[in-house]
Structure 1
Amino acid sequence: MLLDTPICDFGWKAPEFTLKDAFGESFTMSEHLGEKGLLVMFICNHCPYVKRIGAILAEDTRHLMAQGINVLAVMSNDYLAVPADSPENMKQFAKEHGFTFPYLVDENQRVGQQYNAVCTPDFFGFNSAGELQYRGRLDDAKMADSNHRTPELFNAMRMIADTGKGPEEQFASMGCSIKWR
């Protein structure tokens, strides 16, 4: 089912979490909330929207991280119902797309619920105080055309890093619904 994300709730505080990646290493949100902010994104392996942006997402986040903006990806889908999203498949998906950010398993789906994640992909851009400043789409490219794009998420995260504030105009991300238990 195709869903759109809600409008950005500017100033909403990022809930704390600690999750493990597919290799069993733990990551805590507050330890990644750096001076330039944090991007938390909800993605999965099977969603055609995430598959389409995988390489672009890897490239954009590599540039953001090089500029001191931290990135965490969370997979909240019920992977028992959707085996393509299993931790083993997360390892393969991350390698295939060249992800350099932690890709975390939300085993009990609590983090997805706390963040009110709606779809994959769902992007949350926080400033250094942990205040939400961006909840929008990756870019303006259509499913079939990723060559002509405005990198809205990238630009928003750079703005947040520089000013602590996100853009006033944001466009909802859209994708596959989170697969809740």
Structure 2
Amino acid sequence: MPTASPATDPGTQAAAFTLPATDGSNHTLDSLKGANGLVIVFMCNHCPYVKAVLPNLIRDAHELQSHGVNLAGINSNDASVYTDDAFERMIALTHEWRLPFPYLHDETQQVARDYGAVCTPEALGFDRELRLRYRGRIDASRKEALPLARRDLFEAMLAVAHDAEPDDPQYPALGCSIKWKR
């Protein structure tokens, strides 16, 4: 059964973190931020919803970077149970898909808790001051990609990059629940 992301108050400040990435370095919230904003996508390797939207997410990450908005993926799943989400497999996915963004490992799951993340893929878009401006889906794709779907995340963050308000409504993300440790 798919899980939907909760609504969050716009303007919420992003929580600081430092996490290891598949590129071999540690990244902080501040090091990830672009000149005009940052998108954090809670994602993982095994989720069919992530697999379906990954080509569109990669496309949007490339285009958002040209507008000063960076993107980072965070995997918070319990890899001891969901072995496809192990760090070594994250590295393989990064290379296989040539991810144009850092893919971070939240082994303690604290970052997911700090952000109130509940599902994958779940996108949170922040402005240049790292205040929340968007929370929801990448697009209307579910377990199968919809190549012509409205680009919800991209359109919202393009507006944010140009100091405009994202269009309403902001549709919740829908996907696999984050696999919490016991």
TM-score with structure 1 setting the length:
0.94
Q: Percent identity?
A: 38
Cα deviation for residue 161 of structure 1 reads 0.6
Equivalent residue of 2:130, what SS? Answer: coil
Number of matched residues?
181
Q: Indicate if the aligned counterparts of 1:141 and 1:150 stay in contact, CA closer than 8 A.
A: no
Which residue of 1 is the match for residue 138 of structure 2?
138
Mapping for residues 110-121 of structure 1, pairs under 5 Å: 110-121=110-121
Q: Which moved more, 1:83-92 or 1:18-27?
A: 18-27
Which residue of 2 is the match for residue 57 of structure 1?
57
Q: Indicate if the aligned counterparts of 1:127 and 1:161 stay in contact, CA closer than 8 A.
A: yes
**Structure 1: stretches of 5+ with no match in the other structure:** none
Amino acid at match of 1:69: V
Change (3 A) 1:113 1:97: same
Which residue of 2 is the match for residue 69 of structure 1?
69
**Structure 2: stretches of 5+ with no match in the other structure:** none
Separation in structure 1 between the aligned mates of residue 54 and residue 168 of structure 2, nearest angstrom: 26
Equivalent residue of 1:134, what SS? Answer: strand
Separation in structure 1 between the aligned mates of residue 51 and residue 88 of structure 2, nearest angstrom: 17
Change (3 A) 1:15 1:101: same
CA RMSD, Structure 1 to Structure 2 (Å): 1.4
Separation in structure 1 between the aligned mates of residue 98 and residue 177 of structure 2, nearest angstrom: 24
Q: Which runs of 4+ in 1 moved over 6 A?
A: none
Q: Indicate if the aligned counterparts of 1:17 and 1:29 stay in contact, CA closer than 8 A.
A: yes
Which residue of 2 is the match for residue 84 of structure 1?
84
Mapping for residues 27-66 of structure 1, pairs under 5 Å: 27-66=27-66
Separation in structure 1 between the aligned mates of residue 88 and residue 156 of structure 2, nearest angstrom: 32
Q: Indicate if the aligned counterparts of 2:52 and 2:145 stay in contact, CA closer than 8 A.
A: no
TM-score with structure 2 setting the length:
0.93
